[in-house]
Amino acid sequence: MDVVQILVNVAGGLKTSGINLILALGVFVGLGGCIIALVSTVIRSRSGKPVSGMKVVVAVVTGSALIALQQMMNKAAQTLGFGDVSFDAIAYAPDSLGYAKLSVDAVLTLLRAVGALFFYMGVVRARRALVDGHTGLTARQDIGTGMVMGITGILLLCNPQLLDALQKTLGLTWN
């Protein structure tokens, strides 16, 4: 087995298990976050402490976004004009590359899995702005960083469509 075949096998296995792990983490973290937000709201209101209704709504919405992470990825990709996100293996490189086609497709497939991780981390990072004790500056940094990570994740998830758009825009072709 040579290096290209090892890369192809790793990309195939890691893509499937990695994306399934990210989606499962999204469900558990989102569900846990919603439950914790609602329970802490009840506890704070029963003890007479002030409760911010907007924080509760945002916590439940971001928890729901983590639960429906795949649908959020689809909507974000559609917003950017890429269509639905597919988690299939990528067959993008032309046959003229010969044996290198396998390695190019394997790397693009691995980048798709990294994109799913970036999108998940972006939503979690933006959600972190709700933590009590954050100043306005650090909360804005968390939201900004989360948005950048989410957009980067979508661009990595839709890398064949992004590469097609870049080729058309810049007038590049495969040789």
131 dihedral zone (left: phi>0; alpha: psi -120 to 50; beta): beta
CA distance 155 to 79: 12
* pLDDT score of 1: 62
For residue 128, give both structure tokens: 């972190």
CA distance 94 to 92: 6
pLDDT band at 133 (very low <50, low <70, confident <90, very high): low
In the chain, what are the domain boundaries?
3-170
Question: pLDDT of 77-119, one tens digit each?
Answer: 999 888 888 888 788 888 888 888 888 888 898 899 999 999 9
Question: pLDDT of 14-51, one tens digit each?
Answer: 888 889 999 999 999 999 999 998 998 899 888 888 87
* pLDDT score of 149: 95
pLDDT band at 134 (very low <50, low <70, confident <90, very high): low
Contact status, residue 149 vs residue 114, Cβ threshold 8 Å: no
Q: Which of 30-34, 137-141, 163-167 shows the lowest per-residue confidence on average (mean pLDDT)?
A: 137-141
Q: Which residues contact 104 (CB under 8 A, 6 or more apart)?
A: 92, 93, 97
Mean pLDDT, to the nearest integer, of 61-73?
A: 93
